[in-house]
């Protein structure tokens, strides 16, 4: 929502200032200039990136205009899910959650968090790690190193699309100059004609430079920056889950593992201890409390 509002503010500010100086709005309507600039920029995007990255750019651009997947509500839902999963493992043994992590889409625990299941890469991040815990051969330090490596690879993949879009944005002013030069060529070929016609062609040529700079700094560049921030939010979300799972693998009770994960959440999204406790200790509060002091049975 705020992305769309921001774009409207950019358009309103630019056109509003132009109209305040009594600028003729129709002069800015130059479809040919837009085709030259936009088409060339899209062409460079196709040249520079493989198909898998183009699909990723399209998917992450849609995410920019949607609601964040990694807000406070997402953390609370994930922590409630993990609290129930770890509580079940603590009460009935680690093997009791094997079916849940092997087929998360069929698990009542995971089904309660459909948004989590939709993000397959995050679901795999959790389930693959918990498989190591079920095997009972997981050494916390080694698992932590593995998760750090996994997060680094995922973050690199997530920021690739933002980098590609930013590179395209950087090319827009250059293509604006190309459009302007072509406009000057057309103008020079019309010398000797009516002054009004020549003036119109010069104005059209300058609009090319204007559009290239505006699209770069007013639209495409900020969208690329927003995509980078989404990738950072995803990394923060994975980091909180990583801290939570490592705590559980070390043998900490579920409520301690959840609190460790909560402390890893960025401050602007971090729920309070009372909020997390209220969510986690919903219907499953009593049995989970009773199990907190029990050691995790060997599988």
Q: Model pTM?
A: 0.83
Is residue 171 situated within a structural domain? yes
What pLDDT sits at residue 282? 74
Poorest-pLDDT segment among 15-29, 188-202, 249-263: 188-202
Is residue 7 situated within a structural domain? no
For residue 63, count CB atoms less than 10 angstroms from its CB and return exposed for 0-12, middle for 13-18, buried for 19 or more. middle
**Do residues 288 and 87 lie in contact, with contact meaning Cβ atoms separated by under 8 Å?**
yes
Exposure string over 213-243, b if 16+ CB within 10 A, otherwise e: ebbbebbbbbbbebbbebbbbbbebbbbbbb
pLDDT category of residue 247 using cuts at 50, 70 and 90: very high
Is residue 21 situated within a structural domain? no
pLDDT category of residue 25 using cuts at 50, 70 and 90: confident
Q: pLDDT by residue (tens digit) across 106-149?
A: 999 999 999 999 999 999 999 999 988 887 677 889 899 999 99
Largest CA distance in the chain: 94
Is residue 209 situated within a structural domain? yes
Taking the C-alpha atoms of residue 202 and residue 210, their distance in angstroms, rounded to an integer, is 13
Range of the domain at 259: 35-55+70-287
Taking the C-alpha atoms of residue 117 and residue 233, their distance in angstroms, rounded to an integer, is 18
Number of domains forming the structure of the chain: 1
Residue whose structure tokens are 């993990």: 82
Q: pLDDT averaged over the chain? A: 87
Is residue 19 situated within a structural domain? no
Is residue 269 situated within a structural domain? yes
What pLDDT sits at residue 132? 86
Beta-carbon contacts of 247 under 8 Å, excluding residues fewer than 6 positions away, are 256, 257, 260, 261
Task: Tell me: pLDDT of 216 over 90.
Answer: yes
Is residue 240 situated within a structural domain? yes
Is residue 30 situated within a structural domain? no
Poorest-pLDDT segment among 91-105, 195-209, 280-294: 280-294
Q: pLDDT by residue (tens digit) across 228-242?
A: 999 999 999 999 999
């Amino acid at each position: 929502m705020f992305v769309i509002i921001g774009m409207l503010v950019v358009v309103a500010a630019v056109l509003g200032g132009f109209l305040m100086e009594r600028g003729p709005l129709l002069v800015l309507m130059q479809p040919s200039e837009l085709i030259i600039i936009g088409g060339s920029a899209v062409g460079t995007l196709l040249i520079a990136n493989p198909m898998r990255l183009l699909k990723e750019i399209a998917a992450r651009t849609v995410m920019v205009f949607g609601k964040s997947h990694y807000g406070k509500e997402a953390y609370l839902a994930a922590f409630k899910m993990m609290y129930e999963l770890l509580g079940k493992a603590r009460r009935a043994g680690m093997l009791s959650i094997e079916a849940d992590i092997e087929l998360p889409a069929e698990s009542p625990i995971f089904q309660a968090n459909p948004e989590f299941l939709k993000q397959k890469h995050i679901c795999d991040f959790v389930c693959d790690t918990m498989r190591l815990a079920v095997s009972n051969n997981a050494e916390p330090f080694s698992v932590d190193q593995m998760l750090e490596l996994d997060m680094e690879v995922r973050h690199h993949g997530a920021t690739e699309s933002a980098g590609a879009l930013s590179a395209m944005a950087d090319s827009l002013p250059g293509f604006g100059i190309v459009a302007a030069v072509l406009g000057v060529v057309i103008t020079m070929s019309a010398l000797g004609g009516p002054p009004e016609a020549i003036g119109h062609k010069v104005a059209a040529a300058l609009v090319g430079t204007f559009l290239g700079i505006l699209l770069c700094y007013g639209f495409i560049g900020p969208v690329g920056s927003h995509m980078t921030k989404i990738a950072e939010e995803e990394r923060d979300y994975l980091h909180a889950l990583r801290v939570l799972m490592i705590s559980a693998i070390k043998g900490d009770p579920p409520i301690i593992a959840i609190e460790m994960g909560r402390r890893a959440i960025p401050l602007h999204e971090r729920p309070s201890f009372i909020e997390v406790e209220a969510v986690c200790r919903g219907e499953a509060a009593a049995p989970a409390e009773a199990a907190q002091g029990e050691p995790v049975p060997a599988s």
